[in-house]
Structure formats: structure tokens, C-alpha cells
Structure 1
Amino acid sequence: MPITSQRAAFLALVLAQMHSPYRWGAKGLKPTGSPRLFDCSGLVTWCLHEVGGPDWRATHNTDRLWDVCTPVESEAQLLPGDLVLYGRAGHTTLHGRPVTREDPNHVMVYVGAGVVVGASGGGSTTLTLADAQAAGARVKTHPRIAYRSDVLGFRRLPFTS
């Protein structure tokens, strides 16, 4: 599959957000005098919309990205701009109850050569710029896909051009 112009623009825009602070639930918000703020799925949905993709900012989180994007069977088939999702596989327990489906809770964008980039290092307690700075939570790279041990799988966004 060739690298499309929309895919290339998406990846360039993701990379242009390097070091933007993480904020839980943020989808590209830009407070006056501040940089844009993102959580992991917010970075993906904001960048996709900015390059002419669907506006999923209000409706898509890691679960929805997992459900609606096309599966990529293996790491060997990843293209720059594909998604790497992390979380729990089915048939485990969460709060004492069985989880019978995959439960993604984090997403990164594949850059190539095993490198991923995304908004990471934060969580539900990262609500202010001070929280993000204290946690080192921002858009950043990791030198390998398995920087977390809970790689769940891979997905491809619906690029059209």
C-alpha cells in the first residue's frame, strides 16, 4: 500500500505537535497564550480532522478507534501513520469482573523503524499544564512499539487521498 498524501500530511502534523502538553480529554484545545493540548486519542482525531478526515474529536476515544479503524494484522505490515493501541486483551478481569473484549486505553502513531509518537505520560489526573509538566506528559516519541508491555494491536485510519 503506498503512502498517500493525506497519510503523509497526517504524520507531518502529528510530528509538528512534538512537546505539546498532555491534558486528559484534550482534543487540540489551544488556550490563549498556551500551546495546543492533547490526550492520546485527541492528538489522533485532531490531526486526522485537520488533514481532511472525519471529525471524530467529540465521538472517538481509544475504544472507538479500535472498533472503527481497519485492523492491521502484524507489526510487519505497519505503515507510517498507522495506529498502535495498548490495553487489555479479552478474557481478563477488571475490578473483579471478566473483560470479554479488547479494552484499549492508549494509542500512539507509528512513524517507522519501530518508533511511535503520541501524547503520553499522563492520565486522568493530568488536568493542568503544571500536572503535565510534573508528570513529563506531552507529545513525545518512544524508540520502540513495545515501550509498554500491553500492545493490543494495530489499526489503519481511513485516509482517502
Structure 2
Amino acid sequence: MLVRGRRVVAAAGAQRGKPYRHGAQGPRAFDCSGLTTYVYRSVRVALPRTANAQFHAAKPVSRATAQPGDLVFWVHGKHAYHVGVYAGGGRVWHAPKSGDHVRLATVWSWREVHFGRVAA
């Protein structure tokens, strides 16, 4: 998992600066789940299309055991409304919102955050 995780993080970082566009799955623009789908596809792992579907497909892992390359979900109730790629050290690669771009950010709203791992 560690090698694949590093490859996923590198693939996400390679998208730095590309614009957010709702529904976009790359390679020129992304929404949040489009970015995660795209970078996981680069390591030959298929993900469902939406943040919520990815949340329900991933195996939950604790914050203490989260590794770079795991998915980070922002969840309200049982619904994930945002997803990114965990870069380690409390940071995440994500495509935040309209008018923004793919970037590395510090994880915010820790109370809403869940981590998930996707099997190969």
C-alpha cells in the first residue's frame, strides 16, 4: 500500500493548479471526486464517480492509521459531500470549489473527516 499510496499522492500533486469544474474528471479540470477517480485510475484502481459512492466503497480507517494515498472524506450524517487524497501530515490534495483550483491544503473540520482505504 505504501508504494501505491506514494504514487497516488504524486499523481494528485501533478494536477496542482488545474481548475475546479463541477462534473469534471480531468485531465484539464476536476471536481473533488473527479480528481480522486483520475488519480486512482493512474494506479489501475477503479473508484465510483461521486464522493458519497467512494465513501461507501472505501474501507474505513482511523485517523491514527491513515496513510498517504488514502481518501479523506468530509461527512455529514452518513453522506460524504467532499473527498480528497490524504498526503500525510494532516494535509490533503483536493479540488475545493468553483473558482478555485487543485491544491494541497491542511485538513479542516476534523469532526467531519473520515478516512477510507480502497482495495487494489
Q: Same fold (TM over 0.5)?
A: yes
Judged with a 3 Å threshold, the aligned counterparts in structure 2 of structure 1 residues 149 and 78 are, in CA distance, closer, same or farther, namely: closer
Task: Show the counterpart of 1:155.
Answer: 116
Tell me, yes or no, if the aligned pair for 1:104 and 1:152 is still in contact at 8 Å.
no
Task: Show the counterpart of 2:18.
Answer: 20
Task: Show the counterpart of 2:43.
Answer: 51
1:85 aligned to 73, 81, 93, which one?
Answer: 73
Q: Match of 1:71, SS?
A: strand
Separation in 1, partners of 2:53, 2:12: 19
> How far does residue 87 in structure 1 lie from its aligned partner after superposition?
2.7
Q: Could you give the per-residue CA deviations for residues 92-150 of structure 1, whole angstroms, max 9, x where no partner exists? A: xxxxxxxxxx0110012111111111110x1xxx3xxxxx2xxxx1111212x2x2365
- The letter of the residue matching 2:59 is T
**Structure 1: tracts of 5 or more residues without a match:** 30-35, 90-101, 127-131
Residues matched between the structures, number: 120
Question: Within 5 Å, which residues of 2 pair with 1:108-147?
Answer: 108-120=84-96, 122=97, 126=98, 132=99, 137-143=100-106, 145=107, 147=108
Runs of 4+ in 1 over 6 A off after TM superposition: none
**TM value normalised by structure 1:** 0.68
Q: Match of 1:37, SS?
A: coil
Tell me, yes or no, if the aligned pair for 1:82 and 1:110 is still in contact at 8 Å.
yes
Q: Match of 1:7, SS?
A: helix
The structure with more radius of gyration: 1
Separation in 2, partners of 1:7, 1:112: 10
User: Identity of paired residues, percent?
Assistant: 32
**TM value normalised by structure 2:** 0.90
